[in-house]
């Protein structure tokens, strides 16, 4: 084993990184702090500027690059173009306003305070404009605030920022003036953007859905997983080869798959991998921070950190105010977007590669970014109290305090059926599932179907049935079906051995759910009850009872006697 670790140094590094992370995160968990901060601290501890425990930074950076690819891929998976349109005002007005105001503010500061050169100033504006989706969304989800008014607005701003990273990466070389002909560069950029849009349309409409349909017809989960990864990395490689970025390709791959009916199944498979690689990404960020530099320049770093968070809070608040939301929502949105985000490090890497980022700002930016990320969870814990204090104590006109406001469009790119409530989740769309769905429609009961046969899904979707492709033990899929607000779940299929596992997941994710399952044999009934089923219908038993019922009715036996016999047989089974 020792020889293996020596031959493959990255195994040693991963063991050290993850080992230290376990202890750090364990301590932070006791303090109720996000794990992301633990990975940043772990990177600082084992990095080249502190204990020098990691010697192969190149391999860690490679893993971090994969982490960014998977992070952008899942962002593409988690919202589709149609869902984006449902919150378009909050995204394109609130998000664009926040981004432009922030870029403008920091570019102006950089130009007039430090660098008398607009390309560098604008690029510094790019760096400081992005907030942390990873930290903010995780805290919002943990607090249950993601579906509240301010949570949706914050989500919209973060979505726009994530999308805007791509054009910022593309325009960075133009800022540097790497070609003597600016108009030629702009023309090439326009052609690349047009090519990307055409590729997105053709792939999402014709190529990927048909490819995944043929793959899912095999009902091989292994083949499906491999295909999703191949699509992700192949498109990322193609965009990189054409002169664009890996990150852009990964985002496009996710977006293309999300436009198909296989997006939520794919997201449920990819998410665990994303967590692993993005964790390593945050470790690599921590490794870049020079603690000695931070200590020696702490006054200036702290001052710049405060200035950064204040400016970002102001621009975020102005963007929210433009959407005519309440003052509480304005202040809470401002608090939630006042940090520097993980994609700023992707931009920083681009700036370093093309020589657009001054060397002297590198460590300052890293220190400010890490500090803002670390402070954010504390601020978000008390965001409501801070917002209340500001509304009550700042000299704000009373008419603004009393003003009732209009909310942004409802809907979230991360839950397309969030309006469903007290609905039925139907697992399987065979004869029983179809009959149940038709009865539900006739009774005006809302429902959503989960089905693993792609042909059945395509036919049912074409007929207007609310159906989604995937395996019902996929938590992302169950989240999409709004399991937490469902009233009943019915597992209608008996042609699978995964019914106990599905039942277990349903019960674990919604303890109040009424679960009805089918099984073929009587002997399996107790196992399903143990896993959380409220009602178990055994086809073997029901066919037996129906046979007895039909025979006895031929001899004019009273129905109440037949029912009594049936109950006796059920009790004796």
Ranges 11-20, 55-64, 397-406: which has the least confidence: 397-406
Contact 520, 571 (CB under 8 A): no
Pick the residue with more confidence: 164 or 415?
164
Report the alpha-carbon angle 452-213-436, nearest 5: 30
Ranges 4-13, 102-111, 163-172, 517-526: which has the least confidence: 4-13
The per-residue pLDDT for 571 is: 59
Q: Which of 523, 548, 559, 554 is nearest to 538 (CA)?
A: 523
CATH number of 49-398: 1.20.1530.20
Output the pTM of the full model. Answer: 0.66
Pick the residue with more confidence: 570 or 481?
481
Report the alpha-carbon angle 357-362-368, nearest 5: 125
Query: Average pLDDT of 109-128?
Result: 87
Q: List Cβ neighbours of 307 (8 Å cut-off, separation of 6 or more).
A: none
- For 374-406, the pLDDT digits (tens) are 888 888 888 888 888 887 777 776 665 555 444
Query: Average pLDDT of 479-485?
Result: 84
Report domain extents, the chain. 49-398, 424-572
What three-state secondary structure class fits 337? coil
Is the pLDDT assigned to residue 343 strictly greater than 60? yes
**Could you give the percent of the chain with pLDDT greater than 90?**
13
Confidence category of residue 241, pLDDT binned at 50, 70, 90: confident
Ranges 32-46, 186-200, 362-376, 541-555: which has the least confidence: 541-555
Is the pLDDT assigned to residue 319 strictly greater than 90? yes
Task: Please provide the average confidence, as pLDDT, over all residues in the chain.
Answer: 79
Is the pLDDT assigned to residue 413 strictly greater than 50? no
The per-residue pLDDT for 83 is: 63
What three-state secondary structure class fits 510? coil
Is the pLDDT assigned to residue 152 strictly greater than 50? yes
- For 483-531, the pLDDT digits (tens) are 888 999 988 887 667 888 888 888 888 888 999 888 877 777 788 888 8
The per-residue pLDDT for 435 is: 86
Q: Which of 346, 194, 185, 332 is nearest to 281 (CA)?
A: 346
| 23, 287, 289, 402 from 50: Cα distances, Å | 17, 9, 9, 53
Query: Average pLDDT of 104-127?
Result: 88
What is the number of helices (H) and of strands (E) in the chain?
29, 6
- For 254-307, the pLDDT digits (tens) are 888 887 878 778 877 777 676 777 777 778 778 878 888 888 899 999 999 999
CATH number of 424-572: 3.40.50.720
The per-residue pLDDT for 570 is: 60
């Amino acid at each position: 084993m020792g020889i293996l670790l020596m031959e493959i140094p990255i195994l040693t590094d991963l063991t050290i990184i993850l080992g230290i992370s376990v202890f750090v995160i364990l301590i932070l968990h006791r303090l109720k702090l996000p794990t992301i901060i633990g990975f940043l601290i772990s990177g600082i501890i084992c990095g080249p500027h502190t204990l020098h425990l990691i010697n192969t930074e190149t391999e860690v950076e490679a893993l971090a690059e994969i982490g960014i690819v998977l992070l952008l891929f899942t962002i593409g998976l988690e919202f589709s173009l149609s869902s984006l349109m449902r919150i378009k005002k909050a995204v394109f007005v609130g998000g664009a306003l926040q981004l432009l105001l922030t870029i403008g503010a920091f570019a102006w500061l950089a130009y007039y305070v430090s660098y008398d050169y607009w390309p560098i100033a604008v690029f510094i504006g790019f760096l400081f404009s992005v907030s942390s989706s990873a930290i903010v969304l995780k805290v919002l989800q943990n607090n249950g605030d993601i579906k509240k008014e301010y949570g949706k607005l914050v989500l919209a701003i973060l979505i726009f920022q994530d999308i805007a990273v791509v054009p910022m990466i593309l325009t960075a070389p133009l800022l540097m003036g790497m070609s003597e002909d600016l108009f030629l560069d702009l023309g090439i950029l326009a052609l690349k953007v047009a090519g990307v849009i055409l590729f997105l349309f053709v792939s999402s409409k014709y190529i990927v859905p048909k490819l995944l349909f043929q793959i899912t017809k095999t009902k091989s989960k292994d083949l499906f997983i491999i295909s999703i990864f191949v699509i992700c990395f192949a498109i990322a490689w193609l965009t990189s080869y054409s002169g664009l970025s890996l990150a852009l390709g990964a985002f496009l791959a996710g977006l293309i798959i999300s436009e198909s009916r296989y997006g939520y199944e794919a997201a449920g498979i990819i998410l665990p991998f994303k967590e692993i690689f993005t964790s390593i990404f945050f470790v690599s960020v921590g490794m870049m921070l020079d603690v000695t530099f931070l200590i020696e320049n702490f006054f200036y770093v702290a001052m710049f950190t405060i200035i950064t968070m204040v400016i970002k809070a102001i621009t975020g608040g102005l963007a929210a105010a433009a959407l005519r939301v309440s003052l509480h929502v304005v202040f809470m949105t401002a608090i939630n977007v006042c940090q520097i985000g993980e994609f700023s490090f992707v931009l920083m890497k681009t700036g370093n590669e093309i020589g657009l980022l001054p060397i002297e700002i590198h460590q300052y930016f890293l220190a400010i970014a890490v500090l803002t990320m670390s402070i954010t969870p504390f601020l978000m814990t008390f965001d409501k109290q801070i917002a209340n204090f500001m509304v009550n104590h700042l000299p704000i006109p009373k008419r603004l305090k009393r003003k009732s406001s209009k909310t942004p469009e409802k809907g979230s790119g991360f839950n397309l059926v969030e309006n469903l409530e007290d609905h039925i989740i139907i697992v399987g769309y065979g004869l029983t599932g179809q009959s149940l769905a038709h009865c539900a429609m006739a009774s005006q009961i809302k429902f959503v179907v989960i089905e693993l046969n792609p042909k059945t899904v395509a036919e049912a979707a074409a007929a207007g049935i609310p159906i989604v492709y995937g395996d019902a033990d996929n938590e992302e899929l169950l989240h999409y079906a709004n399991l937490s607000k469902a009233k009943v779940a019915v597992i209608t299929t008996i042609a699978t051995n995964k019914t106990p596992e599905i039942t277990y997941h349903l019960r674990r994710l919604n303890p109040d759910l009424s679960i009805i399952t089918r099984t073929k044999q009587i002997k399996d009934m107790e196992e399903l009850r143990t896993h959380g089923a409220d009602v178990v219908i055994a086809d073997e038993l029901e066919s037996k009872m129906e046979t007895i019922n039909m025979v006895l009715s031929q001899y004019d036996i009273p129905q109440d006697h037949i029912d009594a016999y049936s109950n006796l047989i059920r009790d004796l089974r």
